[in-house]
Structure 1
Amino acid sequence: MRTSKISRKTKETDIELELNLDGGGKAEVNTPVNFLNHMLENLSKHSRFDLKINAKGDVEVDDHHTVEDIAICLGQALDKALGDKKGIARMGHAIVPMDDSLATAAVDLSGRGYGAVDLGFLDPFEFYDPFDEDWEGIAEAVKEVKIGDLSKENVEHFLETLAVNGKFNLNVSVFGENDHHKVEACFKALAKALYDATRIIDDEVVSTKGVV
């Protein structure tokens, strides 16, 4: 069984994470960011990875530290569970729709961490005029910087941090209208791409260099 455990404790967060790449998609996720919990449960289900996370963080400041550190731990756990990567397919991709949204994700478990992420978010302040005292959109614009209790900017940061710490190349692009749907389609596409990339298909490392 390809499994790993990662612990991380700082002045900002306290995280315990367990990962099983050959599980059945069972998730036990407990973090103070509820929308992130929902996305991680989707990631577990559609990758068929068993994932257990217990996390505490200084969300009274904001969600950045917690989201970032969970991504660090999950990336490290993935890299650790893969070991020498002997025999894995290494690459995977998926296209996943969710109502109005369509997400494409491609991964290469190459040992080189890089995330290219375009979630198709619009700038809620694009039409904001700071000199227009009567502009009525400010309240709605402020609401739009989050999806539930997760800052939209931290979705992209989570994915990029995951790729860097997991030492894999990640390319994601999303089209759509509803931001919840965009992010959920993204996590499902990532999950399916990771499932394919982590399957064992050979008895050798899939690289002309002989290592990844």
Structure 2
Amino acid sequence: MGVKRIAAVNRRTAETDIGVKVNVDGTGKSDIATGVGFFDHMLHQVARHGLMDLAIRAEGDVHVDDHHTVEDVGIVLGQTLAEAVGEKTGMVRYASVYTPMDEALSRVILDFSGRPFLHFDVNYTAHTVGDFDVQLVEEFFRAVAVHGGITLHMTTLYGKNDHHIIETLFKAFGRAVDQATRIDKRIQGPMSTKESL
């Protein structure tokens, strides 16, 4: 493979203490503990379906709510992905993925452009899945996009079960990262006519 695309980032604030390590050329191994059970389940999906090795440790003020922990994990994951892909030499850069789960179908399209943007078009049927606030999904992916320098478009085309809807988004994101970070030997330098990303 050549250069190992592995990175680790730690971030501590008054609200959270987070460490993330990623190998984008991994096999889908995950070691994740954020203190937010449903969120851990979704992050395992990113690793497994994205074929990346992902370790995440987070301690946060979940006695307040899960918001700071979920958003800050997104910040650090975005930073870690950006560091792991580096100059993006030979990297495909783009991906477009549809992922179903039973009655739900979502589409994730992304570009490791260096220009952060999130378009999030997802409708839920309730406010929570268990104790997890569904609004935090958008906050998480916004943080990943902004701090990873990723243009990210996420759309749920249809679905009735909020667990299924959210899981399609996390699985599709993992698959899209896997596709976009693949190396194509035909690509010289970054995939850009500017020769820089």
The reply on whether 1:21 has 2:24 as its aligned counterpart is yes
Q: How does 1:15-164 map to 2 (within 5 A)?
A: 15-122=18-125, 144-164=126-146
Query: How far does residue 102 in structure 1 lie from its aligned partner after superposition?
Result: 0.2
TM-score w.r.t. length of structure 2: 0.95
Give yes or no for the alignment of 1:176 onto 2:159: yes
| Range with greater deviation from structure 2 (144-153 or 55-64) | 144-153
Mapped contact 1:96–1:185 kept (Cα < 8 A)? yes
Q: Distance in 2 between matches of 1:26 and 1:148?
A: 26
1:192 to 155, 166, 175: 175
Instruction: Give the SS at the match of 2:191.
Output: coil
The number of equivalent residue pairs is 191
The gaps in structure 2 that reach 5 residues or longer are none
Task: Give 3-state SS (helix, strand or coil) of 1:24's partner.
Answer: coil
Q: 1:152: how far off? A: 0.8
What amino acid does structure 2 have at the position aligned with 1:3? I
- Segments of 5+ residues of structure 1 without an aligned counterpart are 123-143
Name the SS for the 1:103 alignment partner.
Answer: strand
Q: Say if 1:43 and 1:187, in contact at 8 Å, map to a contact too.
A: yes
In 2, Cα distance between equivalents of 1:118 and 1:44: 23
Structural RMSD (CA): 0.9
Q: Distance in 2 between matches of 1:86 and 1:149?
A: 42
The residue that corresponds to 2:192 in the other structure is: 207
Cα deviation for residue 11 of structure 1 reads 1.0
- Partners of 2:135 and 2:113 lie apart in 1 by 26
How far 1:150 sits from its partner (Å)?
2.0
User: TM-score, normalised to structure 1's length?
Assistant: 0.88
Give the SS at the match of 2:41: helix
Q: Deviations over 1:64-111 (max 9, x none)?
A: 100010000000000000110111000001001101100000000000
- Counterpart-to-counterpart distance in 2, 1:8 and 1:150: 23
Deviating beyond 2 angstroms after TM superposition, the runs of 4 or more aligned structure 1 residues are none
Give 1:148 shift.
Answer: 2.4
What is the Cα deviation at residue 146 of structure 1? 1.5
Partner of 2:160, secondary structure, is: coil
